[in-house]
Amino acid sequence: MSETILTPPLQTSAERPGILDRLKRIDRVLVVTLGVLAVLAAFSRDQAGTSVLFVANAYAFIAPFFLLSVLAAAWTKGTGLDRQIARAFDSRPMTAVFLAALFGAFSPFCSCGVVPIIAGLLGAGVPLAPVMAFWIASPLMDPQIFLLMAAVFGLPFTVFKAAAAVAMGLGAGYGTHALVNRGAFADPLKGAVTTCCAARRKVLEGAPVEWGFWRDPERLALFRGESWVTGWFLFKWLTLAFLIESLMVAYIPADQVGRFLGGGEWWTIPAAVAVGVPAYLNGFAAIPTVDGLMDLGMAPGPAMAFMIAGGVTSIPAAMAVWALVKRETFAWYIVLGLTGSLLAGLGAQAVLG
């Protein structure tokens, strides 16, 4: 009796993945990050080491929050609690926005560090309105910065900035809530985040909350998948964001930018916003920089606008946000940052000038 040998069918040239298909599978964020480090290593080894240390220090600070946000979001998916959370926040949106803005204004996150928290909240089913309130308010103030600013600038300037942080958070939250009620921002997260483990998630739709999710293979697989996909997605984008941030700190000193805005002309407030939003301005580093500029004659309005615009967002933070949320949500986030910074600057000039 002859033995039949089965051989796999040969792939035709049309079936084989082409060069373009293979290139599409390459992680472009990882390639860019490694490329930037390679260029730095070739032309400026000192800066390469400084940038790597900067990224490491940034992760050392946000690591607990990063892990907590990723695991908490995955936990809510695995247990099925995300639907309960969404319903709870939807039932009292006004209170949720108020508390989110208040808590955000005194939480210790910068514009980049807040991104994994935002991803975790949205992934856990929290509506966009309270998330946006926390998102806008969080990078602007925290207890340590409040005490340092009070010692350097005095209470009026410091209290005004803290009040501006809360007001911007409230405005962002309630404005977002109004737009959501009209049908906007129905699904703010991009597909790369929302579709991970989508097939498994559909199986759990309508299922009750299961606290011991690890006993259910489907739920455990969902938890693992959510943790890995969301964690890796945030890690690669935040690494690139922190790397770009380190270069901006090194090559675009805030004091040089601030000198351009040092006058008291009418255009300095919108100019401070226009320059501050893309630039990176660390909350702690901004204190001596802006203090020195005010000693040289910079008015309170441009100083406030510059500090808030540089704190609420930046190019590195915007890169991470762009990868996380859809275009309309990203555009709304930028509009809120621009508008809030401008109004805060005008208000500071009117009250403190």
DSSP states of 142-196: -HHHHHHHHHHH-HHHHHHHHHHHHHHHHHHHHHHHHHHHTT--SS-B-HHHHTT
- CA-nearest of 340, 342, 348, 313 to 113 is 313
Q: Across the chain, what does the average pLDDT equal? A: 80
The residue ranges of every structural domain in the chain are 40-352
Q: Please check whether residue 239 is in contact with residue 71, taking contact to mean a CB–CB distance below 8 angstroms.
A: no
Provide the pLDDT for residue 203.
Answer: 44
The answer, yes or no, to whether residue 188 has pLDDT greater than 60, is: yes
Q: What is the mean pLDDT of residues 164-189?
A: 92
Lowest mean pLDDT among 43-57, 180-194, 202-216: 202-216
pLDDT tens per residue across span 240-295: 878 887 887 788 766 666 666 665 677 888 988 888 777 666 666 678 778 877 87
Q: Please check whether residue 129 is in contact with residue 97, taking contact to mean a CB–CB distance below 8 angstroms.
A: yes
The answer, yes or no, to whether residue 147 has pLDDT greater than 80, is: yes
- C-alpha to C-alpha distance for 214 and 122, rounded to whole angstroms: 23
Angle at 180 between CA 179 and CA 181, to 5 degrees: 90
pLDDT tens per residue across span 211-220: 777 888 888 8
Which of 109-123, 129-143, 155-169, 269-283: highest mean pLDDT? Answer: 155-169
Q: Please check whether residue 135 is in contact with residue 114, taking contact to mean a CB–CB distance below 8 angstroms.
A: yes
E strand spans, the chain: none
The answer, yes or no, to whether residue 344 has pLDDT greater than 50, is: yes
Q: How far out from the chain centre does Cα 9 lie?
A: 48
What residues are paired with 325 via a beta bridge?
189
pLDDT tens per residue across span 82-101: 666 666 666 688 898 998 89
pLDDT-derived band at 178 (thresholds 50, 70, 90) equals very high
pTM score of the predicted model: 0.73
Q: Who contacts 313 (Cβ-Cβ below 8 Å, separation ≥6)?
A: 111, 139, 277, 321, 333, 334, 337
